[in-house]
Amino acid sequence: MDQSPESLAAGRNIIRRYSDGLPGSPGVYRMIDAGGNVLYVGKAKHLRNRVSSYVNVAALGARMQVMIAQTASMDIVTTRSEAEALLLEANLIKKFSPRYNILLKDDKSFPFIFFSGDHEFSRLSKHRGAKTKKGKYFGPFVAAGAVGETITLLEKAFLLRSCSDNIFKNRTRPCMLYQIKRCSAPCVGKIKKDDYDGLVAQAQAFLSGKSRQVQEALIAHMQSLSLKMHYEKARIIRDRIRALAQVQQHHVALGDADIIAVARERNVCCIQLFSYRAGINYGNRTWFPVGAAQADDAEIIRNFIGQHYQSHPAPALILTSAMLEEAALLEEALRMSSDYKIDIVHPLRGDKREAVEQALRNAHEALARHLSVHATQAAVLEGVQKLFGLDEVLERIEVYDNSHISGTHPVGAMIVAGAEGFIKNEYRKFNIKREDMTPGDDYAMLREVLTRRFKKLQEMDGDVKMPDLVLIDGGAGQVSAAAQVFADLGVQGVCYVGIAKGPDRNAGREQFFVPGKEPFQLPENDPVLHFLQRLRDEAHRFAIGAHRDKRSKTMHQSELDAIPFIGPGRKKALLHHFGSAKAVAAAGIEDIQKVEGISKSTAKVIYEYFHGE
């Protein structure tokens, strides 16, 4: 990256020109490089003052100086308030993933507990995604494991069904869950609808924070049954009360709250989120944000709150491990997307402080485990570097594999790995396009994949880093094919290696093929061998998955799909009448016209399609 005094001065002058014409109102600014990529997104209460502060590069950290050196232009948006600017900033960071912002990774949707509302007997299940189904949702749970655990405990306490509607409809006798007292078996009439609805209402009341009322009602019911000498029924209620007590072990006096704690070590940051709803622990989750090394805890938490609650509902209370100067602004911004008051608090004493300390302990433990794994990974990467005689530390490894069955549905695959492990958002699939290729020609397939990949890298002209190591699933033939591609394209400085299983195709006897060297093996217990095997296996898994997807898609396609005016309805009618597309092709116009929904003119189109007229 160019960080010469000239480029730094050029970036500073560009920022100065933009800042001179800015208003003193709130807004959001974007730093953009020469290729149009967003480098950084920031919000400001006073745009002119905030943007002009970047002109004083000496007061900035090294990372921000690199960003300024790459800045070629800016984009400015004014907003009505600083809270609105905060929301827009978080939205744009999520959209563009700028290189110099603090970024969260793997921010997928969180699961909910779902009570179906479209069946006579409501089903208890886990739900992830849009809330489009009729019913009631409780959550979100930040850990998928917490959902499964809570559902199991709710089954024990409230005996609700978790089977699919199809299984429910076809049961003729109670399943094992009924035998182990985790379901009331409404499928075979072991419980009346009104009584089952009462169980559903109790479970929903419990998840809504009314656990004490539910437990007191059950105790009163058990005592009433005992007085009437209905001891078997009383025993069932007793077991439910015990299961309910087990659920309540997860309760704390926080109501609806999230706890956000930050731990740091060796320029690595860990964010730990604990989530409670109605006093129930909904699990915890860990993030290791990118770009947080030079930020303080308060800035990291502010960025986390801005990005995380863009796609997840905020609770009424958010506890933080650091004091936030912008807490009031964040509260105002979160209230804009909710209909209730939200408090962001840094507790100093009491139960809330104890809850934050627990989250902090978990954050430090998670960070220690992460650093341990990272150190092991770094040692293995250093071993790979020495094994193949590379001068620089490995930052990017690309692994290539092909998949097909007797040459049909050929697919090439590339996976990417680095210091943090697999980089799955950079995996790529390649549909083999050359029609003159001999079916099953693995060498030709590899040449096409590598040619397309490295041509594109050359066209991007440095915007994407060239791999430090290319690992190819194959032997001498595949390595020769790669050598030909790199020679034709003029690619230099990329190490490429083939990995092939030994004569008996046993794991542990892999041979490595490096240009200009004799094939060699590594000891079976060598950590470097295990690492390279894992890379090869991941590429193989991804390639097979891509091939299966392509094959499955082709199997569901029909030659009828290409005929004009033939939609899903007519296609279904034709296949139902003739049995196959081949039989349709052999039919005459009069026979085709006999199919329901097919007119004489449409029958003529179908006939002419197959007979080339």
| Residue 103 resides in a domain | no
Per-residue model confidence (pLDDT) at position 248: 56
Per-residue model confidence (pLDDT) at position 95: 84
Q: Mean pLDDT, to the nearest integer, of 280-306?
A: 86
Q: Mean pLDDT, to the nearest integer, of 322-334?
A: 91
**Which residues, in sequence order, are CB contacts of 376 under 8 Å at separation 6+?**
none
Task: Grade residue 485 by pLDDT with cuts at 50, 70 and 90.
Answer: very high
Same domain, 221 and 316: no
| Residue 390 resides in a domain | no
Higher pLDDT, 243 or 261: 261
Per-residue model confidence (pLDDT) at position 557: 59
Same domain, 415 and 550: yes
Per-residue model confidence (pLDDT) at position 463: 59
| Residue 471 resides in a domain | yes
Same domain, 321 and 358: yes
pTM above 0.95, yes or no: no
User: Residue 246: pLDDT above 70?
Assistant: no
Same domain, 518 and 578: no
Name the residue with tokens 């009341």. 205
Is the distance from CB of 501 to CB of 507 less than 8 angstroms?
yes
Query: Three-state SS for 126?
Result: strand
Average pLDDT, the chain: 85
Q: Which tokens hold the place of 206?
A: 């419990």
Helix axes 442-460, 476-489, angle to 10 degrees: 30
Same domain, 449 and 532: yes
Q: In this structure, how many other beta carbons lie within 10 angstroms of the beta carbon of residue 231? A: 11
DSSP for 22-71, written as a single string:
--SS-EEEEEE-TTS-EEEEEEESSHHHHHHGGG-GGGS-HHHHHHHHH-
Quote the CA–CA distance of 449 and 461 in Å, as a whole number.
19
Name the residue with tokens 């290189």. 99
Same domain, 523 and 457: yes
User: Residue 36: pLDDT above 60?
Assistant: yes
Same domain, 538 and 566: no
User: Residue 236: pLDDT above 80?
Assistant: no
Helices (H), 290-387: 297-308, 327-335, 350-387
User: Residue 509: pLDDT above 70?
Assistant: yes
Same domain, 593 and 536: no
Is the distance from CB of 528 to CB of 379 less than 8 angstroms?
no
What is the span of the domain harbouring residue 320?
257-369
Output the CA–CA distances (angstroms, integers) from residue 268 to 94, 369, 494, in the order listed. 21, 12, 29
Q: Mean pLDDT, to the nearest integer, of 167-196?
A: 90
Per-residue model confidence (pLDDT) at position 461: 65
Q: Mean pLDDT, to the nearest integer, of 91-99?
A: 86
Output the CA–CA distances (angstroms, integers) from residue 152 to 113, 143, 147, 181, 247, in the order listed. 11, 15, 9, 11, 10
Per-residue model confidence (pLDDT) at position 382: 92
Same domain, 279 and 356: yes
Higher pLDDT, 15 or 506: 15
User: Across-strand partners of 74?
Assistant: 31
| Residue 498 resides in a domain | yes
Per-residue model confidence (pLDDT) at position 322: 93
Sheet strand arrangement including 27-32: 38-44, 27-32, 73-78
Query: pLDDT per residue over 201-223, tens digit each?
Result: 988 888 877 767 777 787 887 88
Per-residue model confidence (pLDDT) at position 292: 83
Q: What percent of the chain has pLDDT above 70?
A: 92
Instruction: Count the domains in the chain.
Output: 5
Single residue among 225, 248, 271 that ends a domain in this structure: 248
Output the CA–CA distances (angstroms, integers) from residue 463 to 8, 92, 349, 466, in the order listed. 19, 21, 50, 9
Output the CA–CA distances (angstroms, integers) from residue 517 to 324, 469, 473, 523, 536, in the order listed. 59, 16, 17, 18, 21
The percent of the chain in helix, strand and coil, each rounded to the nearest 5, is: 50, 20, 35
Same domain, 416 and 534: yes
Closest by alpha carbon to 579, among 595, 564, 567, 566? 595
User: Residue 182: pLDDT above 90?
Assistant: no
Query: Three-state SS for 473?
Result: strand
Residue 4 main-chain phi, psi, to 5 deg: -70, 160
Q: Mean pLDDT, to the nearest integer, of 552-558?
A: 58
Same domain, 533 and 569: no
Range from 235-239, 412-416, 469-473 carrying the lowest mean pLDDT:
235-239
CATH number at 595 reads 1.10.150.20
Per-residue model confidence (pLDDT) at position 298: 93
| Residue 358 resides in a domain | yes
Is the distance from CB of 157 to CB of 144 less than 8 angstroms?
no
> Would you give the DSSP letter of residue 390?
-
Range from 246-255, 329-338, 579-588 carrying the lowest mean pLDDT:
246-255
Higher pLDDT, 562 or 33: 33
Higher pLDDT, 452 or 564: 452
Higher pLDDT, 279 or 186: 186
Q: What percent of the chain has pLDDT above 90?
A: 29
Same domain, 243 and 292: no
CATH number at 310 reads 3.30.420.340
Q: Mean pLDDT, to the nearest integer, of 176-185?
A: 89
Task: Grade residue 139 by pLDDT with cuts at 50, 70 and 90.
Answer: confident
